[in-house]
């Protein structure tokens, strides 16, 4: 069996295996580890979970998620209702600072405001991701914390050195310009990739992360 067909079939099997995904309308394409998901899913969490499932498969180096969220009629919420529900969820989440707001348009949520850490921005996304009626979440939240770029680089590199999932001989490099961190180098799996990204966003003073990591599969 060719590698192309093998990876495609493995991704399709993983989508079918995952109980959180209705994969009946998902098709998978693969070219040398560059995998694309096409079709529809009935919720935004399934959109995210399908991507996560594909990344779990060995040999997947890049993933393009072209899935469209088509809500069942009973899950539709008008803009005013979804906006109110989303802002209530943000307010009730202790990990989300005051001032973060959500606005809905046709099921697409846009988050705005300002936070001090990347983890707080992630918390805001997670607070609204699983709400009924959400088709997509766009994060326009600003991060504003002063930190010396040299300190940011050292802090992130120290974190990567501590993480068990990242091998000691990893060639991942951290470079900070202003408050933007650029990551380069190779990682073996998407789990390792995500661990590097998560560690970077946890550092104080990181406003943006440029992901130039290469997943070897």
| CA distance readout (Å), 84 to 69, 71, 132, 171 | 21, 19, 12, 46
- Answer with the one of 51, 69, 87 that is the final residue of a domain: 69
Least confident range from 38-47, 87-96, 155-164, 182-191: namely 155-164
pTM assigned to the model = 0.85
The H-assigned helical ranges of the chain are 3-17, 44-55, 79-92, 118-129, 149-162, 190-202
Q: What percent of the chain has pLDDT over 90?
A: 74
Confidence of residue 1 (pLDDT cuts 50, 70, 90): very low
Q: Do residues 128 and 153 both lie within one domain?
A: no
CATH of the domain at 7: 3.30.1340.30
Length of the chain in terms of residues written: 217
Q: Do residues 17 and 59 both lie within one domain?
A: yes
Q: Do residues 43 and 94 both lie within one domain?
A: no
CATH of the domain at 79: 3.30.1340
Q: How far is Cα of residue 4 from the mean position of the Cα atoms in its chain?
A: 25
Q: Do residues 41 and 22 both lie within one domain?
A: yes
Q: Is the pLDDT of residue 135 over 50?
A: yes
In a 10 Å sphere around its CB, with 0-12 CB exposed, 13-18 middle and 19+ buried, how is residue 156 labelled?
buried
Rounded average pLDDT over 176-185:
90
Mean pLDDT of the chain: 92
Rounded average pLDDT over 191-201:
91
Q: Is the pLDDT of residue 147 over 70?
A: no
Q: Do residues 158 and 188 both lie within one domain?
A: yes
- Answer with the one of 143, 164, 191 that is the final residue of a domain: 143
Residue range of the domain that includes 63: 3-69
- Answer with the one of 16, 40, 69 that is the final residue of a domain: 69
Q: How many domains does one find in the chain?
A: 3
Q: Do residues 80 and 33 both lie within one domain?
A: no
- Half-sphere exposure of 163 toward its Cβ, with a 13 Å CA cutoff? 22
Task: Show the tokens assigned to 130.
Answer: 């699983």
């Amino acid at each position: 069996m060719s590698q192309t067909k093998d990876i495609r079939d493995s991704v399709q099997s993983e989508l079918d295996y995952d109980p959180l995904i209705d994969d009946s309308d998902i098709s998978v394409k693969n070219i040398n580890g560059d995998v694309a998901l096409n079709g529809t899913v009935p919720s935004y969490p399934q959109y995210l979970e399908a991507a996560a499932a594909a990344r779990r498969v060995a040999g997947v180096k890049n993933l393009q998620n072209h899935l469209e969220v088509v809500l069942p009629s009973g899950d539709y919420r008008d803009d005013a209702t979804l906006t109110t529900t989303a802002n209530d969820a943000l307010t009730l989440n202790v990990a989300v600072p005051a001032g973060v707001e959500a606005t809905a348009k046709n099921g697409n949520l846009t988050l705005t405001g300002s936070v001090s850490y990347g983890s707080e921005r992630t918390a805001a996304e997670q607070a609204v991701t699983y709400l009924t009626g959400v088709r997509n979440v766009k994060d326009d939240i600003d991060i504003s914390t002063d930190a010396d770029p040299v300190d940011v680089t050292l802090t992130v590199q120290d974190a990567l050195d501590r993480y068990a999932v990242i091998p000691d001989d990893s060639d991942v490099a951290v470079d900070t310009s202003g408050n933007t961190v650029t990551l380069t180098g190779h990682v073996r799996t998407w789990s390792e990739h995500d661990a590097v990204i998560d560690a970077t966003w946890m550092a104080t003073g990181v406003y943006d992360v440029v992901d130039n990591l290469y997943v070897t599969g």
